[in-house]
Amino acid sequence: GKVIGTLSFGAVNRSRFSDDDLVLMQAVAHHIAIAMERVRAQKRLRESEERYRAIARSIPDGAVWVVDDQLRCLVADGALIARLGLVRAGMEGKLVREALDERGGEIAEARFRAALAGQTASYETEYRGRTLWSQYVPLRDERGQVTAAMSLLLDITERKRIEDRLRQAQKMESVAVLA
């Protein structure tokens, strides 16, 4: 019901259009309006996806991974993807087990299955020489139905090293006090 443009029809050999001509013109205008709205919706969708990807890429030492209900990767983005030796284009469109090595694929698949079943959970995992913290969550539609699952991953390797050094220093301090 909203005006989105103007379409003009003209004829040089008559002063008015027949009822059939008007029906045809109305149908053409309707189809053009549908096409224009589809183009606008696709543009909004591309912009929205790019915004979400920009958010994922901006997570320091992190990544976002989204899979559908068939465990097919919809989104894999963030600096951590490359740091782990993975390629976003090599993950998206593939099943979880195809996107990672065998051990990593089994672990991620089990965690995504739990998220698809409605569970939220956090994990610490050693993967490719890095310590990762991950949280797996279900993604729900407007009716509350789980339609996909997401994992937020953060590289906490350096934090874990610092914590280990601190524990070692505290132990040495305790030993020195006892001596």
Q: In what order do the strands lie in the sheet with 146-155?
A: 73-77, 62-68, 146-155, 130-140, 121-127
Tell me the C-alpha distance between 100 and 163, whole Å.
29
Q: For every one of its 179 residues, what pLDDT tens digit does the chain have, with 9 covering 90 and above?
A: 677 778 888 888 888 889 999 999 999 988 998 898 999 999 998 888 888 778 777 788 899 999 999 999 999 999 999 889 898 888 999 999 999 988 889 999 999 999 999 999 999 999 999 999 999 999 999 999 999 999 999 999 999 999 989 988 888 877 766 66
pTM (predicted TM-score): 0.71
Cβ contacts of 3 within 8 Å, gap of 6 or more? none
